[in-house]
Amino acid sequence: MDQYNIPEELKYTKEHEWVRIEASLAVVGITDYAQQQMGDITFVDLPEVGRRVAQMEEFCTLESVKVAADVYSPLSGVVAEINSALEDHPEFVNQDCYGQGWLVKLQDFDPAELNELMDAAAYLTFISQGA
């Protein structure tokens, strides 16, 4: 399982999203495990800025050469920003899923919901059990 990059400072979902808190925003993307499973991502359908999402609500779709996959919000909140660079460069999700390949930033999120997510060690255990 060492072939997957699983940063310690992030929180994770069972649907393979990650979240990082940056000041008053929650940055969301898909994990290295997810992008490797999907293969080359060819299209990213992002939500509208201002959309309110509930925790674990489907809020965007990624398409790859192999599959289309829904992405779920790890936290309830309001979409404050989308990564519009992905419209022209969906490959950023494959190349740098924790950096340039982030999907959305949420505001007005519920920090208590972070306690329902997995830390890096729990996520590694989860994917090593055949997630």
Q: pLDDT (tens digit, 9 = 90+) per residue, 25-64?
A: 999 999 999 999 999 999 999 999 999 999 999 999 999 9
C-alpha atoms less than 13 angstroms from C-alpha of 112 in its C-beta half-sphere: 0
- To which H or E segment does residue 29 belong? strand 25-30
How many alpha carbons fall within 13 Å on the CB side of residue 29? 25
| pLDDT, greater one: 14 or 2 | 14
- Beta-bridged to residue 30, according to DSSP, are 17
pLDDT at 2: 58
111, pLDDT greater than 50: yes
Whether the per-residue pLDDT at 1 is higher than 60: the answer is: no
* Domain architecture of the chain: domains with CATH: 15-110 (2.40.50.100)
